Amino acid sequence: MTMLKDPSVKYRPFQPINLPDRQWPSRTITQAPRWLSTDLRDGNQALIDPMGAEKKNRFFDLLVKVGLKEIEVGFPAAGATEFDFIRGLVDSNRIPEDVLVQVLTQSREDLIKTSFESLAGVHAAIVHLYNAVSPLWRQVVFGLEMPQIKEIAVNGAKVLRDQAARFPQTKWHFEYSPETFSTAELDFSLECCEAVMDVLKPTPEHPIILNLPATVEAATPNIYADQIEYFCRNLPNRDSAVISLHTHNDRGTGVAAAELGLMAGADRVEGCLFGNGERTGNCCLVTVGLNLYTQGVDPGLDFSDIDEVISTVEYCNQLKVAERHPYGGELVFTAFSGSHQDAIKKGFAAQETRNDQLWAVPYLPIDPADLGRSYEAVIRVNSQSGKGGFAWVLEQDQGLKLPKRMQAHFSKHVQELADQLGRELQAGDIWDVFRKAYRQDGGRFELQDYEETKAPDGSRVFAGKIAVDGQVQSVSGRGNGLLSSVVATLQDAFGLGLEIRDYSEHALSGGSDAKAAAYVECVTPDGRTIWGVGVDEDVATAGVRAVLSAANAI
């Protein structure tokens, strides 16, 4: 019960495919494939708690909304729950005209009949026949030879043909899967598919879907691509078949295998949203779709509100979408490290000055806004974050754009809190520490009211009412401008020797009630640097408040 020093005594490498003139490595994917969601079948059968009708209907509606035009809705012969759900879909007219539902059946006459009955009355549908063809299954699971395995497929195809004739009002499509294709002899898979085609007689106008599953992923994805290219090149009547991929993720490359399979000539991809499915799951349709999107190819699937997609999928599957799942995970548009935050912040700023729409932001392969994610969620702050993170949060959340040197000052407060709490800081945490650090909830000096007048010599006179420790006092002072007259007042009335070294102000971004923020950097007689912040509807008053906020630090 331990890992082997020499695993080759137990595991054999997958044999490569002899295809020296393979073409797929230099191809690119320039258009979206046909998509089939098997969430309600392959996905559902892998759940701890399989979906009931309510969840299945909700999932079905989500798939339609996302834009799936082919949806495998179940295994009708598996039992009453499956059968009744599919009948319900048909009877309630829930299936849009342009959507094809698909049902899966093993190659047995009674099961195939039940499958057709579950769909009776539907405008169009795909019946999906499968049997396993690879040596391990032939020998270990069934104890059958190749001719008998092929016979199973052919017999199933004949039942498909005959059953379809019983329901002529429906436009039937057929799909055949040589299950375990990726671990089977290629020529035998071809032989089975050709035999099925001989029965069903597909044409370019009414093609058969040949679905080639990596039922268990067993090799690197380039080998799957070789298998697909070999199959496409050697299938007679290739134009009468839609080549479909069905990859699983046992080696963690289900998405890669599907993508290389498309390069190798396939037309269609089967999978599940966020890669649910048996064991490690099916190919993730969200990832393949959005990978295409970020190459400038319209996937024909709409993930504009990815959070809604996730919440429905999580609700129906009762499984969480991993925090780092491509495109959808909670953390994939989030940067904690200071250098990443800084680069992203600069990227967003540069993006605003572009005169085209092209996306080029460091660390973000896709614009989160395209998926309905907000920029505010991009940058989060913990003890690993530098100045960029909280400055971004303050700007997004409160509209405050702190001057550079003040950011450096405030970062010490943020760092202290992050270390003290030992967890990620929320926007609220940062706002609280800001209010405290710059005395935004009051202090010893509180401005009640003031007037500014211009003296005959051009100087300014500040005459104000300031509450000092709760006692309102009328005070005044004179200076070259408003702020220096406030400084003079503080000196004359209270003996505070403040000197303003720097001042800046800006209108608050966002929000309907226009406000301004003012920042002062001051030096005390003993050489300390202190900062003050004031926010007010009136920009001049914001400045006065900023000076008093600094005074409250003394």
Residues that bind Zn ion (CB under 5 A): 42
Identity of the residue, 42 or 175, whose beta carbon is nearer to Zn ion in the bound complex = 42
CA 156 and chain centroid, separation: 40
**Residue 215 beta carbon to Zn ion: minimum distance, rounded to whole angstroms:** 6
Identity of the residue, 217 or 521, whose beta carbon is nearer to Zn ion in the bound complex = 217
**Residue 217 beta carbon to Zn ion: minimum distance, rounded to whole angstroms:** 11
Is 413 part of any known ligand binding site? no
Q: Name the token pair of 43.
A: 């996905």
Count of alpha carbons within 13 Å of 508, Cβ hemisphere only? 23
Measured at CB, which residue is nearest to Zn ion? 42
**Residue 101 beta carbon to Zn ion: minimum distance, rounded to whole angstroms:** 18
Degrees (nearest 5) of the Cα angle 81, 83, 85? 65
**Residue 282 beta carbon to Zn ion: minimum distance, rounded to whole angstroms:** 6
Identity of the residue, 280 or 415, whose beta carbon is nearer to Zn ion in the bound complex = 280
Identity of the residue, 42 or 259, whose beta carbon is nearer to Zn ion in the bound complex = 42
Place of tokens 């331990």: 2
Identity of the residue, 45 or 383, whose beta carbon is nearer to Zn ion in the bound complex = 45
Pairwise CA distance, residues 300 & 104, whole Å: 25
Asked if 127 and 138 touch (Cβ cutoff 8 Å), the reply is no
Q: Name the token pair of 413.
A: 């407060």
Pairwise CA distance, residues 264 & 238, whole Å: 14
Query: DSSP class of residue 28?
Result: -
Core vs surface per residue 338-354: b (16+ CB within 10 A) or e:
bebbbbbbeebeeeeee
Identity of the residue, 42 or 229, whose beta carbon is nearer to Zn ion in the bound complex = 42
**Residue 246 beta carbon to Zn ion: minimum distance, rounded to whole angstroms:** 6
Is 325 part of any known ligand binding site? no
Is 155 part of any known ligand binding site? no
Pairwise CA distance, residues 533 & 433, whole Å: 13
Pairwise CA distance, residues 144 & 146, whole Å: 7
Name residues whose C-beta falls within 8 Å of residue 269's C-beta, 6 or more positions apart in sequence.
33, 34, 35, 36, 244, 245, 258, 261, 262, 283, 285, 288
Cα–Cα distance list, 177 to 34, 213, 217, 253, 504 (Å): 16, 7, 16, 21, 69
Residues in the chain: 554
Degrees (nearest 5) of the Cα angle 438, 442, 448? 125
Identity of the residue, 209 or 371, whose beta carbon is nearer to Zn ion in the bound complex = 209
**Residue 213 beta carbon to Zn ion: minimum distance, rounded to whole angstroms:** 6
**Residue 381 beta carbon to Zn ion: minimum distance, rounded to whole angstroms:** 42
**Phi-psi domain of 246 (left: phi exceeds 0; alpha: psi -120 through 50; beta: other):** beta
Identity of the residue, 44 or 170, whose beta carbon is nearer to Zn ion in the bound complex = 44
Answer positive or negative: Cα dihedral of 311, 312, 318, 324. Answer: negative
**Phi-psi domain of 465 (left: phi exceeds 0; alpha: psi -120 through 50; beta: other):** beta
**Residue 398 beta carbon to Zn ion: minimum distance, rounded to whole angstroms:** 50
Is 42 part of any known ligand binding site? yes
**Residue 4 beta carbon to Zn ion: minimum distance, rounded to whole angstroms:** 29
Q: Helix, strand or coil for residue 502?
A: strand
Identity of the residue, 51 or 535, whose beta carbon is nearer to Zn ion in the bound complex = 51
Residues of each annotated binding site: 42, 246, 248, 282
Residues of each annotated binding site for Mg(2+): 42, 246, 248, 282
